[in-house]
Amino acid sequence: MPLISRCVAVAVLMLSVVSGATAENRFVSDVINLSIRERPANDAGVIGQVSSGESVEVLEALGPESFTRIRDANGREGWVTSRYLTTEPAARVQLAKAEAELAESNRALTDLQRDFDAAQSRLADAASALELADENEQLKSVIAELQDNEARLIAEGEADRERRALMLTGAGLVGGGVVLGLLLPALGRRKRRYGEL
């Protein structure tokens, strides 16, 4: 008997492993269709249904373990089981709202990122423009310095020309004086010669 018990135990264990390997996980749905009844009783006639997540207006409540008279979005009035009504929307409705808000936030984030990238691009362009402006200012100061040097050199050139002209005039006068100094004595001798006659 112990051998048969062991074989049965091994077989059961193998079957549980095999059946466990093929089992699928499932989740309970939160979708509920709640019947709207003509009066507050489970055997009352059904006049419609509301699904989880739908908003209804409470007209009269008989208690949490009884029935509540409601008006749905289509204007139908009737009785539903009170325990299925909550003050908060269903989880799937809240999830859908949260997903919509997340999608909107992602769109806003994408827009902000695009605006940020555009601002960085404009900033880079502005930085280039500022660098060009700085270069332009530096070039203006170099040009002003060169213009000052040019004006100084022109003034110095004019002064040199005036000195040369003065020196040439002085040299001409000295040269003329020397020539006169040499000619005058010779002329004075000739006059004497002619005067001696």
Segment 180-190 mean pLDDT: 73
How many domains does the chain divide into?
Answer: 2
Number of neighbours of residue 48 by Cβ within 10 angstroms: 15
Domain assignment of residue 162, yes or no = yes
The pLDDT assigned to 107 comes to 92
Shared domain for 107 and 78, answered yes or no, is no
Please identify which residue in the block is written with the tokens 């000195």. 163
The pLDDT assigned to 9 comes to 61
Domain assignment of residue 148, yes or no = yes
Question: pLDDT tens-digit profile of 90-108?
Answer: 677 777 788 889 999 999 8
Q: What is the mean pLDDT of the chain?
A: 80
pTM: 0.39
The pLDDT assigned to 127 comes to 77
Separation of alpha carbons 85 and 51, rounded Å = 11
The pLDDT assigned to 135 comes to 85
Between 63 and 91, residue with greater pLDDT: 63
CA count, 13 A, side-chain hemisphere, 188: 6
Domain assignment of residue 7, yes or no = no
Shared domain for 79 and 95, answered yes or no, is no
Shared domain for 162 and 109, answered yes or no, is yes
SS3 116: helix
Separation of alpha carbons 159 and 93, rounded Å = 97
Question: pLDDT tens-digit profile of 122-150?
Answer: 888 877 777 888 888 888 999 999 899 88
Domain assignment of residue 187, yes or no = no
Instruction: Give 24's pLDDT tier (boundaries 50, 70, 90).
Output: low
The pLDDT assigned to 133 comes to 81
First to last CA, the chain: 190
Domain assignment of residue 5, yes or no = no
Shared domain for 82 and 96, answered yes or no, is no
Domain assignment of residue 147, yes or no = yes
Domain assignment of residue 197, yes or no = no
User: Best-predicted range by mean pLDDT among 27-36, 38-47, 124-133, 173-182?
Assistant: 38-47
The pLDDT assigned to 67 comes to 93
Q: What percent of the chain has pLDDT over 70?
A: 78
Angle (nearest 5°) at CA 182 between 177 and 184: 90
Least confident span in 7-21, 54-68, 85-99, 129-143: 7-21
Segment 153-161 mean pLDDT: 88
Q: What percent of the chain has pLDDT over 90?
A: 17
The pLDDT assigned to 47 comes to 93
